[in-house]
Amino acid sequence: MKVIVCVKQIPDPATPGALDSSSNTLKRDGKLILDESDAYGVEMALQLVDAAGGGEVSLVSMAPNSETAGLRTALAMGAAKAVLVSDPALQGSDALTTAKVLAAAVQRLGGADLVIAATESSDGYTGTVPEQMAEVLGLPSVTFAKKVAIDGGTLKADRQTEAGYDEVTCSLPALISVTAGVVEPRYPSFKGIMAAKSKPVDEVKASDLGITPVGWAGAGQTISNVAQAEARAAGEIIEDDGESFGKIVAFLEGLKVI
Amino acid sequence: MAINNIWVFAQASNGAPTSGSLELITKARSLGGSISVWVAGDGNAIAAAVGSYGATKVYGVDYGSNLAGAAVASAMKATIDGGDAPDLVLFPQTYEGRDVMARLSVKVDRTVLTNNIDISVSGDSVSVTTPIFGGNTLVTSTFTGSAPYLAAFRPKSFAPETSGGGAASVVAVSVPDLGATGGAKVTATHVEETSGPKLDEADIVVSGGRGLGESAKYELIESLAKILKGAPGASRAIVDAGWVPYSYQVGQTGKVVKPSVYIAAGISGATQHMVGMKGSKNIIAINKDKEAPIFGIADLGIVGDVHKVLPKLIEALQGR
């Protein structure tokens, strides 16, 4: 069984985000790490290949500056190889272009039985790229899957809905997006980390994938204004002295909700 | 060109359009042009309701056991090819909304702008506003190129107001042959029942986070919510940890709530969470770490242990 996982390398969420002052896009020039949301997809892929009795997990990613730090984390978890699309011309790409680029990277790997993505990235969180990729690739999709199994060549998933969840079956090949928490991602072992250093990363330009134009030139949007939102004033902060519940009761009384 | 023809992807729950759908129809009225609503299912069920908010036509897609994404987007594309081409398509930022929007985006080769809280039209130009960095910064983006423009909006971005319009006319649309993209089928639907008010409609919301320590302690959140006749909510951390179902999640990936009172217990206030509750009228936070970001937006902040404060609070309220 062949599984391809879409992974995003993002600025460390622990450091405050910033916008590039000239382009107004998210700054991604510092150190990038594997988006935590994608660790679930990588783990799911490794488990499904194990359950199928063999196969291979590959990665596709799009990042500036030939960044591979996040990819190495996923390779250390057990993925075999990666295609990295790194091209200055990609800066400013919209969600649709990103989906086309990643879909072309999937095709460069010869396609797969299953493509896995997170539901949305932790930095840009557009939340449409996986489903757009499915449409570009002509695949059926199950988005927002919170439980996934493959049984006799058919995918079975529980898909999150507004009211609860749906049980869904899906023919393969297919694309799924998985919610955080769908599986418990493994920590890379020391052996895995060492092995990851020599695993192949095929670095390509957008033009190698036959995609033009990209970046701002191909985007269907332009940023017209950036403003600070009205700040919410901080209120009264007190240390609990064992009686602070009384403050909450009084606050609720003041609002006439009790 | 100007915006003459607006489509709104609406969703129905128990036979009635969701408030998120009615918000978008209301906002569409201020942008000019005619409003047609799309719904996955029978258009007749919601024709009167969406008509009273200003829609004149409902396209109902008989999608059977298909997932809405591929089915509705294909029906939309067929309608566009048939000559009814929208200038602007508005979607709620929901699971179905995002799927339909994404599939349609590729079919019409136009990008999407998501997570918006506002929209404005000036002549031919359509701009949308998105909060980033937990809502501290507002980015306004303008669509370039030709219509249709596809935009998704976070729930509660607009206030629904009726227009007094009559029932919308109903057009039943069948799903074109989906080929391989129709390979996903729904075999069973599960509704996760909650008692009390719905999370995104409750006047009081009590949410718990990692600071509760263990899943059994979520009981404190449920008890407090029940006493206050509110709804229990949760941070992403404890949903991911499997303590409570996804439907409890407040935040970027969960529900957006704007209650009169929001009580955050054991929640530090990650950006992810704050985006979903910042619009609450009054915020009470209880957290051990006085540096927690949640205190930056709290009207009343208690620096303390939720395991000590909550039981006393519950006891005090029970005695009333």
pLDDT tens digits, one per residue of B109-132: 999 999 999 999 998 899 999 988
Q: Tokens 């269907």, residue?
A: A220
Q: What is the per-residue pLDDT for B271?
A: 82
Looking at 1.20.272.10, 1.10.287.610, 3.40.50.1220, 3.30.70.100, the CATH number of the domain B204-318 comes to 3.40.50.1220
Question: Mean pLDDT across the stretch A188-209?
Answer: 96
Are A169 and B187 a contacting pair at CB < 8 A?
A: yes
A 83-112 residues inside an 8 A Cβ radius of B: 94-97, 99
Q: What is the per-residue pLDDT for A92?
A: 82
Q: Do A66 and A82 touch, CB atoms closer than 8 A?
A: no
The CA distance from A34 to A43, in Å, is 13
Task: Give the rounded percent of residues in chain A with a pLDDT score beyond 90.
Answer: 66
Q: What is the per-residue pLDDT for B1?
A: 56
pTM: 0.89
Are A126 and B112 a contacting pair at CB < 8 A?
A: yes
A198 lies within 8 A of chain B by CB: no
A 216-235 residues inside an 8 A Cβ radius of B: 219-229, 231-232, 234-235
The interface predicted TM-score (ipTM) is 0.90
Q: Which two tokens stand for residue B312?
A: 């006393």
Checking if the pLDDT of A190 tops 90, the result is yes
Q: What angle do CA B124, B125, B127 make, to 5 degrees?
A: 150
Summary mean pLDDT of chain A:
91
CATH 3.30.429.10 holds for B5-182: no
Q: What is the per-residue pLDDT for B140?
A: 94
Give the strand pairing for B12-13 and B16-17.
antiparallel
pLDDT category, B20, cuts 50, 70, 90? very high
Q: Which two tokens stand for residue B229?
A: 């006749």
Are B135 and A139 a contacting pair at CB < 8 A?
A: no
Q: What is the per-residue pLDDT for A16?
A: 67
**Domain ranges in chain B?**
5-182, 204-318
What count of CB pairs under 8 Å joins A to B?
A: 269
Residue-wise pLDDT tens digits, B245-265: 888 999 887 888 999 999 999
Q: Which of A10-14, A130-134, B168-172 has the lowest mean pLDDT?
A: A10-14
Q: What is the per-residue pLDDT for B124?
A: 84
Element (H or E) spanning A99, and its range? helix A95-108
Residue-wise pLDDT tens digits, B205-233: 999 999 999 999 999 999 999 999 999 99
A contacts of B299 (beta carbons < 8 Å) = 235-236, 251
Of A132, A226, A255, the CB nearest to B139: A226
Checking if the pLDDT of A194 tops 70, the result is yes
Are B138 and A227 a contacting pair at CB < 8 A?
A: yes
Mutant choice from A158, A248, A255 vs B, greatest count of B C-beta within 10 A: A248
A 111-150 residues inside an 8 A Cβ radius of B: 119-120, 122, 125-132, 134-136, 138-144, 146
A190 lies within 8 A of chain B by CB: no
Element (H or E) spanning A256, and its range? none
Checking if the pLDDT of B148 tops 80, the result is yes
- Of all residues in chain B, the one with the smallest CA distance to A227 is B138
Question: Mean pLDDT across the stretch B25-31?
Answer: 96
How far, CA to CA in Å, does B129 sit from each of A95, A110, B154, B253? 16, 39, 11, 18
How far, CA to CA in Å, does B50 sit from each of A212, A221, B23, B167? 42, 30, 10, 7
A contacts of B94 (beta carbons < 8 Å) = 162
Question: Mean pLDDT across the stretch B61-87?
Answer: 96
Checking if the pLDDT of A70 tops 80, the result is yes
Residue-wise pLDDT tens digits, B160-214: 999 999 999 999 999 999 999 999 999 999 987 777 898 988 999 999 999 999 9
- Give the 3-state secondary structure of residue B121: strand
Are A249 and B317 a contacting pair at CB < 8 A?
A: yes
Are A257 and B182 a contacting pair at CB < 8 A?
A: no
Task: Give the rounded percent of residues in chain B with a pLDDT score beyond 70.
Answer: 99
Q: Which class is A2-218 in CATH? A: alpha beta
A77 lies within 8 A of chain B by CB: no
Residue-wise pLDDT tens digits, A40-56: 999 999 999 999 999 99
pLDDT category, B5, cuts 50, 70, 90? very high
Q: Residue A91: which residues within 8 A CB-CB, separation 6 or more?
A: A23, A25, A64, A215, A216
Of B286, B312, B64, B37, the closest CA to residue B167 belongs to B37
A contacts of B297 (beta carbons < 8 Å) = 232, 234
